[in-house]
């Protein structure tokens, strides 16, 4: 059985980490959810901003959208099914992050996908980049259908046309990493457009890049045993 108090604290810490990362828009708008392990439930930030989030700002819901505990302001209520859709379609996902990150959202507003242009994108599993889900009013069935159309069994991000960004991964920490990598890649893509355009990393090298990152991570932190001589 999941420990909801521990999971709520993880959600608060996740939002604080997102704020510290600097990827939010000027409004600070966003919402984040965590799957409740072993249940068809999730925890969701219940307001429209991610800064100064407290345990009281977390709602507990079923994957069908039924509110079990807490409150939801209108802007949060609108996006509930955007989160539940991802959890229902992708059983591997444990965290969903929605922001209006400026550089990535610029691509969403332009209706242009983000590709695997940067090493950060490859390292964080954005091999498929971020496709664009066609525009539908927030909370509408049309918007959900458009997201579903561009979901694959393995992608980790979707651009919401004229709206924002949706990122998802197995854990909160991984999802934060993907969010930062996507925003950085979008920024580099926009800068590169001024000097000829961004170039994709070849598919075979994307996988190799991620494997090398995992190998070094498995080695852990190295330290000299006897100090310098």
CB-neighbour burial class of residue 26 (10 A; exposed 0-12, middle 13-18, buried 19+): exposed
**Pick from 205, 188, 206: which is nearest to 197 by CA?**
188
Q: What is the pLDDT of residues 106-131, one digit of tens each?
A: 999 999 999 999 999 999 999 999 99
Q: What is the domain partition of the chain in residue ranges?
A: 4-217
Where is pLDDT greater, at 178 or 227? 178
Q: Are 167 and 179 in contact, with CB atoms under 8 Å apart?
A: yes
Q: What is the pLDDT of residues 46-72, one digit of tens each?
A: 988 899 899 999 999 999 999 999 998
| DSSP reduced 3-state for 154 | coil
What is the enclosing helix (H) or strand (E) of 187?
helix 172-192
Q: What is the pLDDT of residues 180-218, one digit of tens each?
A: 999 999 999 999 999 999 999 988 887 766 676 676 667
What CATH number has the domain spanning 4-217?
3.40.225.10
């Amino acid at each position: 059985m999941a420990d909801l108090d521990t999971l709520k604290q993880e959600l608060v810490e996740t939002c604080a980490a997102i704020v510290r990362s600097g990827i939010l828009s000027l409004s600070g708008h966003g919402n984040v959810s965590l799957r409740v392990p072993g249940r068809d439930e999730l925890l969701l930030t219940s307001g429209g901003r991610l800064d100064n989030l407290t345990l009281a700002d977390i709602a507990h819901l079923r994957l069908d959208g039924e509110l079990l505990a807490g409150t939801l302001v209108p802007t949060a209520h609108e996006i509930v099914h955007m989160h539940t859709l991802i959890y229902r379609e992708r059983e591997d996902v444990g965290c969903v992050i929605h922001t209006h990150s400026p550089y990535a959202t610029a691509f969403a507003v332009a209706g242009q996908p983000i590709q695997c242009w940067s090493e950060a994108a490859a390292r964080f599993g954005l091999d498929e980049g971020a496709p664009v889900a066609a525009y539908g009013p927030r909370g509408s069935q049309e918007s959900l259908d458009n997201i579903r159309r561009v979901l694959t069994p393995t992608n980790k991000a979707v651009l919401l046309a004229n709206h924002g960004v949706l990122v998802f991964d197995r854990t909160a920490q991984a999802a934060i990493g993907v969010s930062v990598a996507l925003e950085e890649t979008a920024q580099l893509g926009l800068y590169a457009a001024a000097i000829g355009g961004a170039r994709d990393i070849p598919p075979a090298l994307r996988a190799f890049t991620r494997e090398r990152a995992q190998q070094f991570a498995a080695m852990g932190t190295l330290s000299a045993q006897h100090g310098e001589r």
